Amino acid sequence: MSSRNRKIKHYFRKYWALFMGGAVFLVLTNIASLAIPKHLGSAVQKMRDAAADGELLNFDLSIIESHGKWIILLAIGAGLARIFSRVAIFYAGRFIEYDVRNELYEKLTRLSPGWFASMPTGDLTSRVTNDVNFVRTLFAITFLHVINTTIAYGLALEKMLALNVTLTIWSLLAFPVLLVFVRLIVQALFTQTKIVQAQLSTISSRVQENLAGKTVVKTYGIEKRESARFLELNEEYLKKNLKLATIRGGLSTNITLIPGAGALVVLLVGAEMVVQGTITLGEYVEFSGYVAALAFPTLAMGWVFSVWNRGNAALDRVLEVLEAPEEITERGDATELPDMDGPRGAIEFENVSFAYADGDDEAISNVSLSIPAGTTAAIVGRTGSGKSTLVRLLARFYDPTAGSITIDGQPLTTLKLRQTRSETGMVPQDPFLFSMTIGQNVRFGLDALEFDDTVDRPLPTKSLMGEGEVDVDTRREEALRIAGIYEDLQAFPRGLDTMVGERGITLSGGQKQRVTIARALLVDPRVLVLDDALSSVDTHTEKQILDHLDSIMEGRTTIIVTHRFNALSRVDKIFVLDEGRLVESGTHEELCQSGGVYSQLFEHQKLREELDNE
Amino acid sequence: MSENRKKQNAIGSGFKEQELGQISDAQIAKRLWSYMRPYGFWFAVSLLLLPLVTAAQLLQPHILQIAIDEYLVPKKLEGLSLIVALFGGSVVAHAALQFIQFYIMQWAGQRALRDLRQAVFDHVQTLSVSFFNKNPIGRLMARMTTDVESLQEALSSGMVTMVGDLFTLGAIVVILLVKDWQFALVTFTVVPPLLVATAICRHFLRAALREIRVKIARLYAHLQESITGMPVIQLFVRENISLAEYKDINLDYRHANFQSIRYDAILFAVVEAVGSIAVGVIVWYGSGKVLEGVVTLGVLIAFIEYMQKFFVPIRDLAQKYNLFQSAMASSERIFQLLDNQERVQRASEPVDMSHAPFEIEFRNVCFHYVEDEPVLKNVSFHIKPGERLALVGHTGSGKSTIINLLMRLYDPISGQILVNGVDIKLLDIQQYRRIFAVVLQDVFLFQGTIGDNITLGDASVSDSELEEATKIARANVLINRYGKGFEHPVSERGSNLSAGERQLISFSRALVHKPEILVLDEATANVDTETEALIQEAVEALMARQTSVVIAHRLSTIQNADRILVLHRGEVLEDGSHDELLANGGHYTRLYRLQYAA
C-alpha cells in the first residue's frame, strides 16, 4: 500500500466514530427527505381523485392534511439529521487538518538546514498552507458527497423503479452526460485557477521589484516604462481572469441545467404516460420529486472527482515533507555532555571533510584542529574559505562526510543532539530576530530550559557580572550590558517590551548582532561561537564586548570567526582556512612571522591602510 | 508562564491590522463607479439582462401549471408537445441568458479592475520617498494585490447577481399574490421564521469567520517565521516550545472553524428544511382550497415549484452581502492609498529648463527627516560646470541627504536649490532629474537582461552607444565573459551577479544616459582585487567626463576631485582641494587620518 493510502486509512480509522456517525445521519436525512415525494404524490392523487369523483364536499380532508403534517415533520427530521451529519463529517475534516498541521510543524523542527535549502521557500509555504486545506477537503468533502450521493441514488432509484421502469431510465439518461460535463468543467476550473494564481504571483513580484527599486525608478525617471511593464502583466492577467470567469459561468450554467433537464425529461416522457393512464398524476408528482432530489447529489459527484484528485496530489506533496529523511538524528544510546568541574568546552576536529549536497567541491577538506577547554580561538580566512561551514558542523546542522568532531572528548554523533546544542551558544552570521518583544528574543533560549522537560538542563541562575545567584530578569539585563546593547534599548520608549519590527523602531544591524550575542550568553554555553557576529559593530564597541566575554567565558571556550584582524592579538590560537583546508594555526605573532597565508592577509590589510595613508 | 503571556509572546505576535471607516460607503460606490463608467454600456446591458433571466426561470412553474391543469388532469394529449417544447425552451433560455449576462458582467468588470489596478500602480509611482519610508513594501503590495483581489472575488462570485436575486424574490412574491393572494399569504408564513433563523446564524457565523481570519493570519505568521528562523529555533532547542505555541494557535483556529461549521450546517439545513416545510404547508392548506375548487391542482404544484426557488436566493443573499462588505473594506483601503498625495510638489506651470552647462547652487538649505533632528543646517555651496566635487564626512554628517535633496527625492525644509539661478521647485521634475545620472551604493538591478538594466528600456540607445558606455565603465570584460553578452539574464535583484559586477553595470547605466551631472555614492563593499582595480579605473573615467558629485570612500577618488566639501553634523565645515585642506590642518585633516590612515 502506498504511503498515501496508508495515511488516508490512518485518518479514517482515527476519526471513524465521526465518519460513521456522519454516515448514519446521512442515511437518516435521506430516508426522511426521500419520503416526502411519496406524501406529496399521494396528497395530489387524492385531491385529483376527489375532484374527479365529484364528491368534493363529503371528502375527508384530514387524510390529505395529514400528508401535509407528515411532510413538515419529515422536513424537520431531515433537517436535524442533516445538521448532525455535516457537523460530524466537517469536524472530522478539521480534526485531520489540525493533526496534519501539527505533524508538519513538528517535522519541520526536526529537519536540518540542508533540507530547507533544497526546498524553495515558496514551495514549502504552499505545502504547509494551501495543500493542507486540500487534504482536509479530500476527507471531508469527498466523504460527505460520495456517501450522500450513494445513499440518495440507492434510496431514490428503488422508489423510482417501483413507480415506472421506463420513466426511470429516461429521466436518468441525461444525468451521466451532464455529470461528465461538470467534471470536465471543474477540472478546467482548477487548472485555470492555478494559471491565474501564477500570474498574480508574477504581478506581485513585479510590484515588489518596482517598490524596492524606487530610487532608480525616480532618479532615472523611468516611471512610464515601469507603468508599461506593469500594464503588460495586467493585460495578461485580465485575459486569464476572463477565461476563468468563462469557465465559472459554464459551471453555473450547468448547475442551472441539471435540475431543469431532469424536470424536462420527466415532463417529456411522463406527461404522456399520465394522459395515457400508465401512471397516475400523483405518481408523476412523486417521481418528479425524486428526480429533483437527485440533481444536487449528481452535481456534487462531478465536483468530488476533482476534489479527490486535487486532494491526493496535495496529500502527496504534504507527505513528501512528512516523510523527508531526517539527516541529523540522535542515536538511541546517545549520552549527555559530561559534567565537568574544571575548564569545559574542548573542541576537536579530526580529519573532517564535508561537501554540500549541491556543491561539487568539498567545502571542508580533511581539517584537524583542537581547541583546548577554556581557551579562545579564532577562525579566519577569505570569503568562501569554509569558516561558516565549520561552525555549522559544530552546531550539527550537518554531519561531516568524513572524520569526527568531539566536544569534551565525546564524538558529536554520540551525544544527545538537543542537550548538546543547548550548551553551544551560537551567534549566527545573520542576526535573525523573531517578531516578538526584544526581551522575549533575548530569553529565547531560556524558554526550553524553563518549560521543556525534554531538555535536561537546569535554568542557569549564576550572575554573569557579579557573584552569586540572580533572577532571570536581572541575568538578562546583565547579558544585555555585556553585549553592549543595554543603553541602546533604554532609549526605546518601551525598552525590552518593544516589539521587533514595530513601526517607527528599527534596530540597526549592529544592534541586532548585539541582541543575538546577549541571547547566546543567557543560556550559559559551554562553547560560545561568534560567527562573524561583530561585523556591524564599530571597533571600539567590539573591543569592549570581547573584553567582557574574556571575563565571563572563563573556563569555557570561545570561538570567534572574523574578517577583522585587529581583535586577533588577544586570542589563544588562530586557525587559518583557505579553500576548505586548514593551512595554518598559531598565535597572532607566530602566524605573522611564519610568512604564510595569514601573514599575507594581514600584510594585505596593513598595506591597504598604508596605501590610503600616503 | 500564564496562557495569556504565552500567546502574547509567541513567535509572529507582531501582526497588526489597519483602521478603516473614514470614507463613506456612498463615496466608495461613487468612486468605484468612476472606474466602471468607461464600460457603462456593457454594465447596463448586463443588468438589463437580469430581468430576462428571472423571467425565463419563473416561466417554468407556470408552464408546469398549465400542463397539469390543461393536459394532465383532463388527460388531453393534443398540444402537450408544444407545452413541453415551451418548458424545454425556457430551461435552455434560462441557462443561456444566465451565461450571457454573467459573461458580459465579467467582461466589463474585469476591465474596470484592470484599470483600477493600473491606477494604483501608477499612483504609487508618483509618491515621494518619504511616503515609502513610512509604508512598508508589504502593505503597499497588499493594496495592489490582495485588496484588488477581494474586489475580483466579489465580482466573479456574482455579487452583482445580488440584484438579480432580489428581483427574483420580488417577482415570486408578486406572481403568487396574483395567482391567489390568500393562499400566497399563508404560504409566506414560513418566510419570517426563515429570515430570523438565517439572521441569527449569519450573525454568529460572521463572528466565527472573523475569528477564523484572525487566527489563520496568526497561524501563518507563526509558521512563516518559524520556517525562516528554524536554525535559530534548533540552536536554542526551542522546537517543543514553538510547537506548543503553534498547537495553541492551531487549536484556537480549529475551534473557530468548529463554530463556523455548526452555524453553517444549521443555516444549510434550515434553508433546505424550510423549502420542504413550505411544501407541507401548501399541501395542508392548499388541499382544502383545491377541493373547494378555488385553486387548481396546477396552481398548487406551481406554488410548490415557486417556493422551491424562493429560499436559495435568501440564503445566498447573506453570503453575497458579506463578500460585498469585504469588497467595500478593500476598496476603502485602495482609495485611501489613491488619496495619499504625499509627493514632491510639482510645479503647476513649470519654467523651461535652461541648457547646459548647469551650475547648481545650494542656498541656506535646512532639512530634517524627523522634527527637531536637523540633518542639514543652513548649507550653502556651488557646483560649477565641469567641476568634480567630493563630499566627505563622518557617518551621519549629511552627505547622502545632500544627494537626496539634489535629486529632489525630498524638498528642503527651508532654503533653495537652484540650477542656473532657477529654483528647482519651479522646474518639471522629470526634466530636471534627467540631467543627472545616479549611482548609489546599493545597486538595484531589475529582473531581465544586462542590456535592459543598462538602457532601462530606453529604445533610443544604439548598440554602439551601449558598447561604448560599457567599455568606459569597464563592464565590457565581464559582459563578454558571459556567452550571451547583453542578453545575459539578470535574476531578481541581480542576485546572480557579484557586488562588483553590479557596480560596473550601474556605472554603464549612468554613462549610457549621458548625464550632464554624475552623482555617485561610492560603495564600500568588499570586492576582489581584480574587480576593485576595474572599479577604480571606471570611477576615474566616469568623473573625468562631466560635472560630478561624489560621496567618496576611495582615496584615489578624493584625490581626483577638484574640490572637497567637508561636512560635519549637517554643516559645511571646510571647502577646498585635497592639498589646500590638508595644509589647513582643520577637520579634514583629522577626518583623513581617522578614515584613511590607520
* pLDDT tens digits, one per residue of B195-229: 898 888 888 888 888 899 889 888 988 998 899 88
CB within 8 Å of B363: residues ≥ 6 apart? B380, B415, B416, B417, B418
Contact B238, A455 (CB under 8 A): no
For the domain bounded by B23-180+325-342, which CATH number is listed? 1.20.1560.10
Least confident of A216-220, A539-543, B88-92, B378-382: A539-543
Instruction: Output the CATH code of domain A347-613.
Output: 3.40.50.300
pLDDT surpasses 90 at B533: no
Q: Which residues of B touch A612 (CB under 8 A)?
A: 555, 596-597
Across residues A471-490, what is the average pLDDT?
90
The amino acid at residue B21 is G
Rounded distance, CA B215 to CA B535, Å? 52
Q: Between residues 60 and 79 of chain B, which touch chain A (CB distance below 8 Å)?
A: 60, 64, 67-68, 71-73, 75-77
pLDDT of residue A15: 96
Q: Report yes or no: A522 and A445 within 8 Å, Cβ to Cβ.
A: yes
Peptide bond into A525 cis (omega under 30): no
pLDDT > 90 in chain A, percent: 50
One-letter amino acid identity for A228? A
Confidence category of residue B19, pLDDT binned at 50, 70, 90: low
Q: Is A102–B250 a contact, with Cβ atoms under 8 angstroms apart?
A: yes
Residue B217 forms contact with A (CB below 8 Å): no
Rounded to an integer, the average pLDDT of A264-277 is 91
Mean pLDDT is lowest, of B7-11, B388-392, B422-426, for: B7-11
Residue B1 in this model has a pLDDT that exceeds 50: no
> Which residues 6+ apart lie within 8 Å of B100 measured at CB?
B49
Contact A358, A118 (CB under 8 A): yes
By Cβ distance, the residue of A39, A277, A502 closest to B14 is: A502
Read off the pLDDT of each residue in B46-55 and give the average, rounded to a whole number.
92
Q: What's the average model confidence in pLDDT over A474-496?
A: 88
Banded model confidence at residue B392, pLDDT cuts 50, 70, 90: confident
CB pair distance less than 8 Å for A234 and B272: no
Best A220, A241, A278, A602 member to test B by mutation, with max B CBs in 10 Å, is A220
For residue B447, the chain A residues in CB contact (below 8 A) are: 205, 209
For chain B, positions 238-297, list CB contacts with chain A under 8 A. 238-243, 246-247, 250-251, 253-254, 257-258, 261-262, 264-266, 268-270, 272-277, 279-285, 287-288, 290-293, 297
- Cα–Cα distance for residue pair A498/A473, rounded to 1 Å: 16
Q: Compute the nearest-CA separation of A130 from chain B (Å).
A: 11
- pLDDT tens per residue across span A428-452: 888 888 888 999 999 998 888 888 8
> Which one of B84, B246, B262 has the shortest CB-CB distance to A267?
B84
Q: Within the 307-366 window of chain A, which residues sit less than 8 Å (CB to CB) from chain B?
A: none
Q: What is the pLDDT of residue B3?
A: 43
Question: What are the helix and strand counts (H, E) for chain B?
Answer: 23, 12
At residue B6, the pLDDT reads 45
Mean pLDDT value across chain A: 88
CATH entry 3.30.2130.10 includes domain B360-596: no
Q: Give the pLDDT mean for B101-112.
A: 93
pLDDT number for residue A504: 57
Contacts of A395 in chain B (CB under 8 A): 235
| Placement of cell 408523476 in the chain | A284
Taking only residues 241 to 260 of chain A, the set having a beta carbon closer than 8 angstroms to any beta carbon of chain B reads 241-242, 244-246, 248-250, 252-253, 256-257, 260
A524 versus A605: the higher-pLDDT residue is: A524
Alpha-carbon distances, residue B436 vs B358, B515, B546 (angstroms): 11, 5, 10
Name the more confident of A120 and B526. A120
Residue B598 has pLDDT above 50, yes or no: no
Nearest CA to CA, how far is A1 from chain B (Å)?
Answer: 30
Per residue in A293-345, pLDDT tens? 998 898 888 888 888 988 999 999 999 999 999 988 888 899 988 888 889 99
Q: What is the pLDDT of residues A140-175, one digit of tens each?
A: 999 999 999 999 999 999 999 999 999 999 988 878
- Closest residue in chain A to residue B405, using alpha carbons only: A219
A contacts of B342 (beta carbons < 8 Å): none
CB-based contact B438 A215, cutoff 8 Å:
yes
Spatial strand order in the sheet of A557-561:
A424-427, A527-531, A557-561, A376-380, A573-578, A581-586
The confidence score (pLDDT) of residue B459 equals 84
Q: What is the pLDDT of residue B524?
A: 65
d(CA B266, CA A81): 10
Residue of B nearest to A82 (CA): B269
From chain A, pick out residues whose CB is under 8 angstroms from the CB of B440.
Answer: 215-216
Contact at CB, B493 and A129, closer than 8 angstroms: no
CA distance A134 to chain B (A): 15
Question: Contact B249/B292 with Cβ under 8 angstroms?
Answer: no
Interface ipTM above 0.90 = no
The pLDDT of residue A1 is above 70? no
Q: Which of A72-86, A588-602, B289-303 has the lowest mean pLDDT?
A: A588-602
Domain ranges of chain B: 23-180+325-342, 181-294, 360-596
Using a CB–CB cutoff of 8 Å, tell me whether B237 touches chain A: yes
pLDDT tens figures, A83-141: 999 999 999 999 999 999 999 999 999 999 889 988 887 788 889 988 999 999 999 99
Please, what CATH class does the domain formed by A1-164 belong to?
mainly alpha
DSSP A413: G
State which residue of chain B sits closest to A215, comparing Cα positions.
B129
pLDDT over 70 (residue A228): yes
Question: Rounded distance, CA A92 to CA A69, Å?
Answer: 35
Q: Which of B431, B125, B306, B584 is nearest to A206 (CA)?
A: B125
Cis peptide before B357 (omega within 30 of 0): yes
A83 touches B: beta carbon within 8 Å: yes
User: Residue A611: what pLDDT?
Assistant: 42
Residues from chain A contacting residue B301 (CB–CB below 8 Å): 44, 285
Average the pLDDT over A46-51 and give the result.
Answer: 84
The fraction of chain B above a pLDDT of 70, given in percent, is 94
Please say whether the dihedral angle defined by the alpha carbons of residues A405, A411, A413 and A417, taken in this order, is positive or negative.
Answer: negative
Which one-letter DSSP state was computed for residue B494?
G
Selected residue with higher pLDDT from B520 and A27: A27
pLDDT tens, residue by residue, A555-571:
889 999 987 777 788 89
Cβ contacts of A116 on chain B, cutoff 8 Å = 227, 230
Q: Give residue-wise pLDDT tens across range A498-521.
A: 888 765 567 777 888 899 999 999
Residues of B in contact with A223 (CB under 8 A): 122, 125-126, 430
Nearest CA in chain A to B594: A613
Measured distance CA(B298)–CA(A340) in Å, rounded: 96
Residues on chain A touching B236 (C-beta within 8 angstroms): 421-422, 444-445, 448, 519, 523
Residue B353 confidence (pLDDT): 81
